[in-house]
Amino acid sequence: MAETKNKKIPIYAVIFTVVFKLLFLLTHYIQEDAFITWRVAQNLLDYGVIGFNGNTKISASTTHLYVLVSYLFNAVFGKENFIEPLLIFNSILFTMGSLLLSHLVLKNVWHKAIFIFLIGILPPAIKISILGMEYGILFCLEMALLYYGFHKGKKWAFIVLPILILFTRIDTVIFLGIVFLVDIFWIKKIRWTYILGGILGVSTALTFNWFYFGEIVNNTIVAKKLAYDRHFTFEQNLDYFRLNFGNFWGMLKLPGDFNPLTILLLIFELLCFIYLVRQREKRNYFLWMIFIFGWVKQLIFLSQKSLFDWYYWVPQILLFVPVLIFVLEQKVKRNLWLALLIVVYIIPMLAFQTIHSIATGNGEWNYRRTIGTFLNQYEKDKNQWIFLEPAGYVPYFSGLKTIDEVGLVDKKVQEEIKKDKPNFWINTIKNRKPKYLLSYDDLFISKDAEYLKAHYKLIKEFRVKDHLKSDNKILEKIYILKPSGTDYNLYEKID
């Protein structure tokens, strides 16, 4: 009986961790891109089409599986009430993934419980759980593959899970590939079932793209590459990498080009990893998988100038795993090591993320969302178009048809970029004539001011400074300490 009760301790840790993180739902910190996925899901609900604007098919979201999950939550809970249940679901899945990971790298049930909680309150783990992105599902699926496939030897896991993983994000081929290579090196033979699962996963994702959207690669990937493509020399690429890796490799970003905290963390992670793999333990098999993946994923995406935070959340967590194992398994003065880790690192990181979530939640939910709700009341004809960037909060809450400047939700923008990239923005306006323009800039002093003054009028200015007040003085201090958001000008067509 006592042994059975002890085995449940990690499960209790999962429940406690999920409940603890629910407090972050109060911050309303939801990533802009989550609303793109959710609008795609609602478009599927309303029009029966995976798209963004009516019955036009487009892979505007990076993730197909999460679109379908979001669709189900919209259908069950309704458009007004699905967000909180879905965020709780994401948090549960991520924490279940950390439970499976704990089974792979630890033996003691109390170590597992502490591991689950401490992993769960790291900044990237909090963001995975509450920002509305697909990484809660993804982390759970990836850890399930390692646990049920490579630990338990379940053949179904080698077939089913790669399909679900690749249908969530196509770039997970990096994870699947690293796991495959480490496995071959470790067991000196090929798991043909896993190869079959990988082939089925890639072919399922690409076939779906081809037959449904008429494309091989997701539109989001094509659009970002086209919009953000810049030709750098080798020296410029190295300099770009140097300027950015410090703010994406660790747990937090700091102002400026040099982040000493990331350097120190990187060195400590490496030292802990080297210490652990020198020991003869079966878990080294999984430590090599997750640590190499963390390094490779970071290097690939940073070298490709992919500077969206969410690409780095899972690697950041997995690279930190050796640190927790090292501290938890200290034979001498373990409690001192653990106390130092918690006081010197975990608590400051949690405090930083709390402040960041409150401030950014204010800038996104209390500020940017109001632009969408204003337009929702101002413009009753939801067939009217708005041209803006980005395509998250404002399109979602306004309900208007949308052209975004990157071309994530509208392919015609990509055609304009291909024809004349320096002038694609004004050419899109002249050719498409959207009723509304939302811009960071004062368009009436831009190089195209003459045309814009003749055809558009400024109807409202949205300013971040107007949203830095609160009846709660502590919240107000946080808002002022870290103002979040961008000033916008809203223009309406006059002819």
Residue of 254 and 200 predicted with greater confidence? 200
Judged by phi (left if over 0) then psi (alpha if -120 to 50, else beta), residue 492 lies in beta
Please give the average per-residue pLDDT across 359-370, as a whole number.
92
Distance CA 119, CA 95 (A): 9
| In a domain? residue 402 | yes
| In a domain? residue 101 | no
Is residue 119 within 8 Å of 125, Cβ to Cβ? yes
Please give the average per-residue pLDDT across 9-14, as a whole number.
95
Enter the DSSP assignment of 387. Answer: E
pLDDT beyond 90 at 255: no
Least confident interval from 4-8, 119-123, 195-199, 346-350: 4-8
Distance CA 17, CA 83 (A): 20
| In a domain? residue 481 | yes
| In a domain? residue 408 | yes
Least confident interval from 45-54, 241-250, 307-316, 388-397: 241-250
438-455 residue pLDDT tens: 999 999 998 999 999 999
Per-residue pLDDT at 111: 95
Per-residue pLDDT at 213: 92
Residue of 376 and 258 predicted with greater confidence? 376
Q: How confident is the model at residue 202 (pLDDT cuts 50, 70, 90)?
A: very high
Enter the DSSP assignment of 149. Answer: I
Per-residue pLDDT at 72: 97
Q: How confident is the model at residue 4 (pLDDT cuts 50, 70, 90)?
A: low
| In a domain? residue 236 | no
Share of the chain above pLDDT 70, in %: 98
Helix and strand counts by DSSP (H, E) for the chain: 24, 5
Please give the average per-residue pLDDT across 282-290, as a whole number.
94
Q: How confident is the model at residue 33 (pLDDT cuts 50, 70, 90)?
A: very high
Query: Who contacts 333 (Cβ-Cβ below 8 Å, separation ≥6)?
Result: none
Share of the chain above pLDDT 90, in %: 77
Is residue 386 within 8 Å of 398, Cβ to Cβ? yes
Distance CA 463, CA 465 (A): 5
| In a domain? residue 459 | yes
Predicted TM-score (pTM) of the model is 0.94
Q: How confident is the model at residue 280 (pLDDT cuts 50, 70, 90)?
A: confident
Least confident interval from 12-16, 250-254, 431-435: 250-254
Tell me the three state secondary structure of residue 404.
Answer: strand
Query: Who contacts 384 (Cβ-Cβ below 8 Å, separation ≥6)?
Result: 400, 401, 434, 435, 436
pLDDT beyond 90 at 397: yes
Enter the DSSP assignment of 51. Answer: B
Q: How many domains does the chain have?
A: 1
Please give the average per-residue pLDDT across 160-165, as a whole number.
97
Please give the average per-residue pLDDT across 194-220, as a whole number.
93
What is the full DSSP assignment across 336-377? HHHHHHIIIIIHHHHHHHHHHHHHHHIIIIIIIHHHHHHHHH
Per-residue pLDDT at 45: 95
Q: How confident is the model at residue 384 (pLDDT cuts 50, 70, 90)?
A: very high
Place of tokens 């496995």: 183
Q: How confident is the model at residue 228 (pLDDT cuts 50, 70, 90)?
A: confident
Q: From 185, 186, 188, 183, select the one nearest 158 (Cα to Cα).
A: 183
| In a domain? residue 391 | yes
Q: How confident is the model at residue 3 (pLDDT cuts 50, 70, 90)?
A: low
Per-residue pLDDT at 5: 62
Please give the average per-residue pLDDT across 39-56, as a whole number.
94
Long-range CB contacts for residues 343-346, cutoff 8 Å, separation at least 24: 346/118, 346/121, 346/122
47-70 core/surface letters (b: 16 or more CB in 10 A; e: else): eebbbbbeeebbbbbbbbbbbebb
Provide the mean pLDDT of the chain: 92
Q: How confident is the model at residue 233 (pLDDT cuts 50, 70, 90)?
A: confident
Q: How confident is the model at residue 6 (pLDDT cuts 50, 70, 90)?
A: confident
Domain extent for 385: 367-493
What is the full DSSP assignment across 414-467? HHHHHH-GGGHHHHHHHHH--SEEEESS-GGGSTTHHHHHHHEEEEEEE-GGGG
Place of tokens 């480490």: 182
| In a domain? residue 423 | yes
Is residue 416 within 8 Å of 424, Cβ to Cβ? yes
Helices 173-187 & 155-168 angle (0-180, nearest 10) = 150
Number of neighbours of residue 26 by Cβ within 10 angstroms: 11
Q: How confident is the model at residue 247 (pLDDT cuts 50, 70, 90)?
A: confident
Distance CA 68, CA 25 (A): 23
Please give the average per-residue pLDDT across 257-263, as a whole number.
79
Q: What radius of gyration do the chain's Cα atoms show?
A: 24
Would you state the structure tokens that stand for residue 173, as one six-digit string? 């081929």
pLDDT beyond 80 at 75: yes
Measure CA of the first residue to CA of the last residue in the chain; give whole Å.
78
Per-residue pLDDT at 68: 97
pLDDT beyond 70 at 185: yes
